[in-house]
Amino acid sequence: MTIAYAYGPNPWPQSFWDARAAANFVCGGMGAGLVVAVALSGARGTALAIPLVAGLVIVACGLAAVFAEIGRPLRAANVVRNPATSWMTREALVAPLLFASGIVGATGSLAFVATAAALAMVFVYCQGRMVHAARGIPAWRAPQVPWLFVATGMAEGLGLWLVLAAFLEQRSARVAGWLGAAIIVRYVLFRIYRRGLGGTLAPDPAHALDAAGFVLLWGGTLAPLVLLAIAAAVRSQPWAPWLLLAAGLCAALAGAWLKSRIVLRAGHTQGYTLPALPVRGRA
């Protein structure tokens, strides 16, 4: 039976965040995670500057996508007016600090690299809280959402660093270990998140999350873990970095898919019910 979506008792898909907003969450988390991965990698010189600048560019692409979604772009400056109540405002205020510290860090200043990594964590946490603040959408208001977005962003960024490391000829055993931990944490958080939602979702968002969970398990967790294990076993072989590249790519793409499904397909309102109706003649 097909459900006719309308404003009423049946849940209906939200329409205020589209693919451009999803791109902000995907690119923001992935870019911020890449900045953190640079700090964890211990890389120097060009191997530090290229991934760090790439992370900032990816974050900027996400912000540009969400700017394109604004109906009245000239009013975009209003987003910074509510830091006490709005996580979108906090994200907007953290972004320039992240860019400034990242650009200075790309010149080789390790203190600013560490600062950029800390700000990147704050940035992706703000994004998770933005989604969580939508109280009328069951799949978004779950308490695990902010931390799921943080874990997903870190796994995406660490995976992307392994992709770049294969071309930059960088040793990546440390980052590979962090990636293995991040994808395990990400999947555990997703299972806790999905179990917590239980049967509260409408059929369409429930199916979207279950399908995304299938991709996350096989493509974003088991596949990269196997590839990481094989790469560790044959680390002396010249083709080992390409196994790490494949593992990182799987982890990054699965995370991006998960977040896009949460925003675009699982974002159904809860609808409403009237638990009690007035009856004539009764108090």
Residue 48 located in a structural domain: yes
45 domain residue, yes or no = yes
> How many domains would you assign to the chain?
1
Token duo for residue 134: 């939508």
Cα dihedral sign, 254-255-256-262: positive
Q: How far apart are the first and last CA of the chain?
A: 39
Q: What integer pLDDT is reported at residue 135 of this predicted model?
A: 80
User: Within a domain: residue 193?
Assistant: yes
Residues 6+ apart with CB under 8 A from 70: 76
217, 258 Cβ separation under 8 angstroms = no
Instruction: Establish if 273 belongs to a structural domain.
Output: no
pLDDT by residue (tens digit) across 260-274? Answer: 999 999 988 876 655
Asked if residues 102 and 95 have their Cβ atoms less than 8 Å apart, the reply is no
Instruction: Say whether pTM exceeds 0.75.
Output: yes
* 7, part of any domain: no
Q: What is the pLDDT of residues 15-46, one digit of tens each?
A: 778 888 899 999 999 999 999 999 999 899 99
Domain membership flag for residue 283: no
Residue 44 lies in a domain: yes
**Separation between Cα atoms, residue 61 and residue 79, nearest integer Å:** 18
Q: What is the largest CA-CA distance in the chain?
A: 85
**Structural domain boundaries enclosing 259:** 19-71+84-264
| CATH number for position 30 | 1.20.1630.10
Answer whether residue 13 is part of any domain. no
- Say which DSSP state 142 is in: S
